[in-house]
Structure 1
């Protein structure tokens, strides 16, 4: 086993070592139990008083969702106008221009919904003020929104019967003060001491060995890079994201950034078990998610380390693996690991170019985002998994001829209908968007409103189809990574993905929280000999089978037209 493989094994093991106690800590914090961060109470109380919030006021699930949508709408409007007029605002030493309305529309939605799909380059597209007071601000708030929604879900199953599910604002504030901000400071300091820029100066210049004058972007990057990974956001300070040496200086920072984007999703799954006092259930959910991750990771490693057969036929050595688009400091092993975790989790940051990965890797990257519940984003990964779990409960109940139940609450027609609608939503948004884009590309190549659709794709054919499919998949999964061969900064892509972004974010949050809230209001049914237990290996296998079958039925035809066809073409 080489050192590169040992590096990713160590990275994952360290992630678990941090995530398990972090899960216990989060369960205590959100349950209102004593924790070592109680010294932050005065700061939190000041925020509540300043905002006119009563953190002890109880909310039902509808009030929670109303609060979530209201505050996110405020941020959307605020950020839209700052992006439009950033060229007229301070902290813009490089003189970056204001965004066009369609690009501003796409960008602000993307950052509000924790996706950070970037149809602009970080160095030239936004000012320091925008990076900090709009985008980095939303890195914190969008992650806290997902965590707060997950805690509402926790509360619904903690007691046998519950209508009052805590206070959204309390969960939201604690997500930042007790979790995101402290850990971000530690990560940012680590990056800063390893060479990531932190100053507010403009571009620097140096003379290359060829005598060319090169302008190098910098700025207060370490702060944003820390929270972008910790909050599973992913938007890069620099256009090349974490493949850029200033954003990711060395192997240590590569490990830190990889660890930071996974610890909260895993911790939230474990916190669920500690919070509702059903640790076995949480470990079973974690087990299914982990098996799913490795079933995506292992073929990805094999694909990238095996090299490109088309290049090998030309007599060029592929001993180091498929190196196109890889950062040579890290190699294909670290990039394969990163590409897996960044797509199963809604981070979307990259330390290599996904557009250059092998077709099988591209297939697995898209599949991870399509499933979107193997760990997933901050809080929302568990909510996405819950939809599959409810469908598994329903089908299992039909198989044994008993009314489906989950944690002592009957799962009836209303809950199943909500789960079914949310399950159908993702395939509809991804496949309908890709179909429309394909039609525009082939039928309207010179449409002015599409900015010459014929120029969208650098790679026509199967790979070009994959580029369009990937863009909508990433948007729906709130991921933000992309196959960068796609020319996406135009009215079509900015507007169409903007709508996919907002629907793909909030409906999959509202659906699971609504189901949990409805179940919590029902009469508790004690377990009996015929009760279907959700914390068994058998039921976990059933849930995993549901995930595989539903996603295969939904996405296999589209994947066959893109990465699968490209894979067999290269083999031939």
Structure 2
């Protein structure tokens, strides 16, 4: 137990130590200040402006900024879609993989452009190298940059006084990519390659197994089977199994994985190069690479909290927002850790499974990699569902009911417990505006936040941003539950089956992308319905955030008085957490009661 607690403490401690200086660096980049990389990258930045005819001094109104975001994203969807439906005729396809069906191609294109990275396919068996790195990896960069750019448009709304301009989307994107994302991910990819993650353009290989295995006709391994290497006969407990198939070779995928793995984590994207994502030994081979990838998931979202404080010249405000997110994350990690370490009464019945921590990880190890154990698996699951990052290093469908419940709830809260790069913070700021309004009503004062008066216009958009995720998740999962083909695709029945369905639509609705497994998501209805949900849950909050930013930028600053509600003290942090949890509880408790909570109470004996 002590070792597990030490691991949790180390993960969180390193995250905070790295986030603070990175937050200040990002603030200097977005303000155009000279930094350590300016000497080499400033000529590149100016060259991009010259080639693309970008006026770095141009200021966009919120509607112009939003139009640029939407047009750019639409072009991204079209590009990734075309790459997939034509990949059989393009280079960079050593496996000679066929074209992707139109519905899956559309779903994947929307998924990566919206920073969701939901994958209804097996990466190494479906997409060519060209599609992976020219389509998906590029979108991992630009979708992450889009979220950060929108956040800075909102920050400028708080800073500016009686102005209309929120900056230039094209300038913001250029700076974010070349000064922040590219340098960070070049370094991260370098260390990942050193740690054993593959990075090549070789075709996949087939290699002999050290020991042959016997499988049934459906591919299930026959545990305990004896194989006669000379005759090829398979026996189990002395009986011949004539239908068994002896497997002597293994398929080993190759490709440019490290470059995609780096940005999929640091950009809170999550789409795996391999089908089993970060559980694959060539995508996440060791505890060292696991630590690097896990820290990179929350590094930029955590740093942006401090960036926000530095930018609005109120460091305490950034710390307060960080504290609210951090407390929620720690609670999530704690509940998941205790639940997975304790297991369930069914797991230990009759002493058939030893879940003690004597000389082993103990607890519920089903679906978890032995090289990571429970501590690293739980922290990863908590980090990825707190951020809008869908990568997994363990099978979430094998978690205990409460463990799966917490993972699901973090997404349903709107991915604001750090959340995706940029989008998590502007989502939390919408909750902060809502909290200020509620607190203002309680004390009879006009709500103010960072010197700007919060009026009905901002409140309407803030409420819509906060309710966008619950709205699309509940409507989408409700409709899906009534479509006969959807329940038929579930791997389980009852409460567990409903959890699989609810998790799927929570994942896409929260722009997360992780999967509960046990659900065949690659059907035309699911592909199209989840695509529409991803589009709404990504771009409705963006539109609302930019509308709020435009309104705030046009307002005057209000002087702080003795009666001004403090938004940096512990009381505000508490109120902010309660508002976030209250909206999540009111929105999702009935659905959660039918899924993970019903399953949890069913396991109590």
TM range (shorter): over 0.9
1:447 match: none
Structure 1 runs of 4+ off > 4 angstroms? none
**Is 1:431 paired with 2:501?**
no
Distance in 1 (alpha carbons) for counterparts of 2:335 and 2:486: 34
Q: What pairs with 1:45-444 in structure 2 (closer than 5 Å)? A: 45-208=46-209, 209-210=211-212, 212-316=248-352, 317-319=354-356, 320-371=362-413, 372-440=415-483, 444=484
The TM-score, its normalising length taken from structure 2, stands at: 0.91
Cα shift at 1:161: 3.7
Partner of 1:448: none
* CA RMSD of superposed structures (Å): 1.2
**Contact 1:308–1:318 (CA under 8 A) maintained in structure 2:** no
Matched, 1:512 2:539: no
| Contact 2:111–2:534 (CA under 8 A) maintained in structure 1 | yes
Which range is displaced more, 475-484 or 401-410?
Answer: 401-410
CA contact (8 A) 1:304 1:333 kept: no
Aligned equivalent of 1:496, options 529, 540, 546: 529
Q: Aligned with 2:346: secondary structure?
A: helix
User: How far off its partner does 1:259 sit?
Assistant: 0.6
- Inter-partner Cα distance in structure 1 for 2:465 and 2:308: 22
Q: Deviations over 1:122-156 (max 9, x none)?
A: 11110000000000000100000001111111111
Name the stretch that deviates more: 306-315 or 114-123: 306-315
Q: Which of these two proteins has the greater Rg computed from alpha carbons?
A: 2
Q: Which is helix-richer, 1 or 2?
A: 1
In the TM superposition, what is the alpha-carbon distance from 1:3 to its structure 2 partner?
3.0
**More moved, 393-402 vs 258-267:** 393-402
CA distance in 1 between counterparts of 2:554 and 2:545 reads 14
Report the counterpart of residue 30 of structure 2 in structure 1.
30
Checking the alignment, whether the CA contact within 8 Å between 2:427 and 2:465 is kept in structure 1 is: no
Aligned mates of 1:557, 1:453 — CA distance in 2: 20
Partner of 1:565: 598
Shift of 1:454: 5.1
Q: Which runs of 5+ in 2 are unaligned?
A: 213-246, 357-361
The CA distance in 1 between the partners of 2:250 and 2:438, in whole Å, is 62
Name stretches of at least 5 consecutive residues in structure 1 with no aligned partner.
Answer: 445-451
How big is the shift at 1:313? 0.9
Give 1:220 shift: 1.1
Structure 1 position 517, deviation (Å): 1.9
In 2: Cα distance, 1:394 partner to 1:534 partner:
12
The answer on whether the counterparts of 1:386 and 1:512 sit within 8 Å (CA) in structure 2 is no
CA distance in 2, matches of 1:137, 1:314: 52
Deviations 1:330-372 (A, max 9, x none): 1111111100000010111111011111110111001111111
- Using structure 1 for the length normalisation, give the TM-score: 0.96
CA distance in 1, matches of 2:149, 2:365: 41
- 1:32-89: CA deviation from partner (whole Å, max 9, x where unpaired): 2221121211111111122121111111222111111111111111111111111111
SS at match of 2:250: strand
